[in-house]
Amino acid sequence: MLYLIGLGLSYKSDITVRGLEAVRKCSAVYLEHYTSILMAASKEELEEYYGSEVILADRELVETGSEIILRDAREKDVAFLVVGDPFGATTHTDLVLRAKRENIPVEIIHNASVMNAVGACGLQLYNFGQTISMVFFTDSWRPDSWYEKILENRKIGLHTLVLLDIKVKEQSIENMARGRLIYEPPRYMSISQCCEQLLEIEEVKGTKAYTPDTPAVAISRLGSDRQTFKSGTIKELSEYDSGEPLHSLVLLGRQCHELELEYLLEFCDDREKFKNDVIKDQEFFKPAPWVPPVEEDDD
């Protein structure tokens, strides 16, 4: 049996009772270690809590070496632990499909993830559109495929959750080219860098999917005892020190309910200014008033 088990967002004890029971009966326990991190628990603390060894599964193991995990699951119970919920990343869907093709039984044990816990900032979950990921730009690679998704969300008035990049156990291009297994120190994108990249691409595109004055809310260390929220415009948040990781960002949509706005006002420096910024932004992509068609004269 292959168990995919969500760990929640922060603490070793965020795992569900059912998930913990499954882990403790497994012969091998893998921890996915590249799409997110458990902010308040180390590998050693998890091993003590579970009473078994935890094997860190990096991107290479999960995406190209999953046969190792599946081989074990053919003969015994194997746990694949995921920070948040098991289906928070497409990689994990692929792992389930591979297991099913090989007739390996799979059991999914869900947990909280950023996709639902983001509601803690006060925005209502059913007002969210497509989620996007913001990766670190390089000198030669500045991907912008996410831009159209923001534009689509904004046209129908929905909020956009932006997941910020993390780099764990990544190689430099030079070391990769030379075949040297030397890894870069972990990096976690900040709110300010994300906003700077948003503004850069909007300047290039020029179609105003958003502007420097578009309201947003910065979310830091969600699910921990140090979680914080900060409301402001994209320009203001590009100068915001968001502190330790992990971070995410939400761009507001035109349909911002008055209760959502009231909640967000708790997290801004200037309540009146932010309220006016939201009202002004609601004019973006506002549907034109309906005008009845002109009836043609039969004569």
Q: Is the pTM of this model over 0.85?
A: yes
Q: Which residues are annotated as a binding site?
A: 9, 85, 88, 113-114, 164, 222, 247
Angle subtended at Cα 203 by Cα 201 and Cα 204, rounded to the nearest 5 degrees: 65
pLDDT (average), residues 261-279: 97
- Hey, what's the torsion of the CAs at 63, 66, 68, 74, to 10 degrees? 170
CB atoms within 10 A of CB 53: 10
What is the pLDDT at residue 64?
A: 74
**Under a CB-based contact definition with an 8 Å cutoff, are residues 10 and 84 in contact?**
no
Percentage with pLDDT > 70 across the chain: 94
In percent, how much of the chain has pLDDT > 90? 78
Cβ proximity of 156 and 130 under 8 Å: no
Provide CB contacts within 8 A for 206, sequence distance 6+: none
Q: How far is residue 63's CA from residue 67's CA, in Å, rounded to a whole number?
A: 10
Average pLDDT score over residue span 112-116: 95
Q: What is the model's pLDDT at position 169?
A: 65
Burial 251-279 (b: 16+ CB within 10 A, else e): bbbbebeeebbebbbebbeeeeebbebbe
Predicted pLDDT at 125: 97
The whole-chain average pLDDT of the chain stands at 92
Three-state SS across 137-185?
A: CCCCCCCCCHHHHHHHHHHCCCEEEEEECEECCCCCHHHHHCCCCCCCC
**Three-class SS of residue 220?**
strand
Question: 195-219: per-residue pLDDT in tens?
Answer: 999 999 999 999 999 999 999 999 9
Indicate the range of 41-55, 110-124, 220-234, 282-296 predicted with least confidence: 282-296
In this predicted model, which residue has the larger pLDDT, 178 or 49?
49
DSSP-derived secondary structure for 24-92: HT-SEEEEE-SS---TT--HHHHHHHHTS--EEE-HHHHHH-HHHHHHHHHHS-EEEEESB-GGGSHHH
List pLDDT tens digits, range 219-252: 999 999 999 999 999 999 999 999 999 999 999 9
Instruction: Identify the pLDDT of residue 284.
Output: 84
Write down the pLDDT at residue 184.
66
d(CA 177, CA 167): 18
Q: Using pLDDT thresholds of 50, 70 and 90, give the confidence band for residue 294.
A: confident
pLDDT score recorded for residue 173: 58
* Residues 126-174 pLDDT 10s: 999 999 999 999 999 999 999 999 999 999 999 999 999 998 766 555 6
User: Per the annotation, where are the binding residues for S-adenosyl-L-methionine?
Assistant: 9, 85, 88, 113-114, 164, 222, 247
Q: How many whole angstroms separate alpha carbon 291 and alpha carbon 296?
A: 15
For 211, the token pair is 């502007």
Structure confidence at residue 91 (pLDDT): 77
Instruction: Please report the domains of the chain, with CATH numbers, ordered by start residue.
Output: 2-112 (3.40.1010.10), 115-283 (3.30.950.10)
